Amino acid sequence: MGKTQYLLLITCWFALQLFSCKTPVPARLGIRWNQSPIPAEVDYAKGENWAALPTKKDLADSIPKGAPFSDEQATAQADVFFIHPTILTYAPTNEFQWNASVDDSFLNKKVDESTILNQASIFNGAGRIYAPRYRQAHYFAFVTPFKEDKDAALNLAYTDVKKAFEYYLAHYNQNRPIIIASHSQGTVHATRLMKEFFDGKPLGDKLVAAYIIGIATPKNAFEHIKPCENASQTGCFIAYTTFLNGYLPDWHPKTSTELVSTNPLTWSLDENFVSQKLNPGGVSYGFKWVKNFADAQNHLGVLWTHTPYVFGRQFVHIKNWHQADLNLFYAPIRENAKFRVRTFLSKQ
């Protein structure tokens, strides 16, 4: 085997340890939003329209291979309302181009085996997990040149998230404390949901914290809900987007910003570098537990990290770690959510 082949093998092995050796290029849609059929409305009284519920066995109940903890939903005193990110990135396999049907079994399997397994499960130590399926907008909604198409697709998706949350409040919550958790497109909807239901509203008193990750979020995103400044603060929000140390994306102004970046190893907003040695563990490809997975440092409103500390890391040059925003810091987020719940309950 030649040197080039060896390096390729090592690089591919490393990528497999994280997610996949090949990341498909997101599909572009060839029609406008108003030319695509709209999937049927969602009935949240039906359990199959939830990707996760405490009353059924689902992948949010999972524990990473080798991790030193267990699912604690049965005894949890809080709830987690989790809004998953965009999984519809490929060319749609049916007539629903811009917004997915929740009856799409192929897509549902992808949702469950990716975000519900790797992200929602983080919170099964802190609360009972409720994760609705919804008519998620296709990835193309975020890059289309037509703002009206983007707005229409995301608005339709949000109507489902709102409807699911209202059903949750009416039938499941029973006045329990709430964590809002989300990633990417899910954070777009979570931010809107928090403005409508929590920000300056009575329900805000039930908010433990909001982990709204994977979207650039300004400090003044809400009128009354402020960014968390430490590990124990409640009624606040955590936000960050992850990039390779030293890299700033094209959309970044490259100067001081008003964006929130919470360091998930210290839960502070400062720009101090924090070693991977303070990261108890992250989750890699195959839902495998990895100790001391990643370091972290806030910089100008984004979160910087070096390539995760596993074998072969020197051959990988990924700059945008968006897909791993939560995986890299699985254990710190898990333990912090539990801690904030305990702190919230101690004040009651």
3-class secondary-structure state, position 18: helix
Q: What is the mean pLDDT of residues 226-241?
A: 98
Q: Is the pLDDT of residue 96 over 50?
A: yes
- SS3 letters across 72-104: CHHHCCCEEEEECCCCCCCCCCCCCCCECCCCC
CA–CA gap between residue 129 and residue 77 (Å, rounded):
11
Token representation of residue 309: 């500390």
Q: How large is the angle between the packed helices 185-197 and 147-168, nearest 10 degrees? A: 60
Instruction: Give bridge partners of residue 236 from the DSSP assignment.
Output: 209
User: pLDDT tens across 171-222, in order?
Assistant: 999 999 999 999 999 999 999 999 999 999 999 999 999 999 999 999 999 9
E strands, the chain, are 50-52, 79-83, 128-132, 178-183, 207-213, 236-238, 242-244, 282-284, 288-290, 297-299, 302-305
pLDDT of residue 178: 98
Domain ranges of the chain: 32-346
Q: What is the mean pLDDT of residues 37-64?
A: 98
Token representation of residue 193: 């949901």
pLDDT of residue 24: 65
Is the pTM above the cut of 0.85?
yes
Q: What is the mean pLDDT of residues 248-257?
A: 92
User: pLDDT tens across 146-168, in order?
Assistant: 999 999 999 999 999 999 999 99
3-class secondary-structure state, position 129: strand
Would you place residue 31 in the very low, low, confident or very high pLDDT band (cuts 50, 70, 90)? very high
Q: Round the average pLDDT of the chain to a whole number and report it.
A: 93
